[in-house]
Amino acid sequence: MAKLRDRYANALLEISEERGTLEKDLEQVIMVRDTLNSADVQSFLVHPHIPDSAKHQLFQKAFSDKLAKHIMGFLYLMVRKNRELLIVPALTEYIDSANRRFGKIEAKVVSAKPLTEEQTESIRMILSRQINMEIKIKTKVDPDVIGGFYILADGRIFDSTVRSELNKMRERLKRGIE
């Protein structure tokens, strides 16, 4: 499933680059992804008894005057190939890939308690230096994180949680290292 998602995203990305409209297309794809990412719209798109013409009509009403023809064609293709479930994941992959080309990535910081603006900015600056890209931070509070935080960025995990530190300590003690 991931390979298929990547294939569609890369094909759309290549078209945008060939046309020289990557920046404009990125804005449009973000808008489409955000619009189609609701549970109701997803239920409509994947419902087996709703004809393709109704799905095309949804795209026409929502996007006809707002999207480039090749992006609209992508949506129609996904419906024609019965790949409605892959539309949002493929668009998300497109967005991530396009942003990487512009030197930008999104990082998710998950912490036990809400972070202050200063903490978030400090994490952003340190991560930006480490990865050498512009970072946009999204924060999430997860009570299952005992303490500290972890960061998901560019396919990597930076773990600074109390749990991971305790696990490291346990491993050192097992090996006899203080």
177 — pLDDT class (breaks 50, 70, 90): low
Mean pLDDT of 73-78: 94
pLDDT given for residue 137 in this prediction: 92
Confidence of residue 147 (pLDDT cuts 50, 70, 90): confident
pLDDT band at 17, cuts 50/70/90? very high
The C-alpha angle with vertex 72 and arms to 67 and 74, in degrees rounded to 5, equals 135
2-100 domain in CATH 3.20.20.450?
no
Residue 92: pLDDT band with limits 50, 70, 90: very high
Please enumerate, as own/partner, the contacts of 161-170 that have beta carbons within 8 Å and a separation of 24 or more. 161/112
Residue 131 clears pLDDT 90, i.e. is over it: no
pLDDT tier, 178 (very low <50, low <70, confident <90, very high otherwise): low
CA distances from 85 to 26, 31, 54 (A): 20, 17, 16
Q: What is the pLDDT at residue 174?
A: 86
Show me where the domains of the chain are located.
2-100, 104-175
Q: In the structure, what pLDDT confidence band is assigned to residue 73 with cuts at 50, 70 and 90?
A: very high
**What average pLDDT is seen over the chain?**
91
- The domains spanning 2-100 and 104-175 adopt the same CATH topology: no
pLDDT value of residue 169: 86
pLDDT above 90: residue 91: yes
* Mean pLDDT score, 153-178: 83
CATH no. of 104-175? 3.40.30
Average pLDDT over residues 137-144: 91
108 pLDDT band, cuts 50/70/90, is: very high
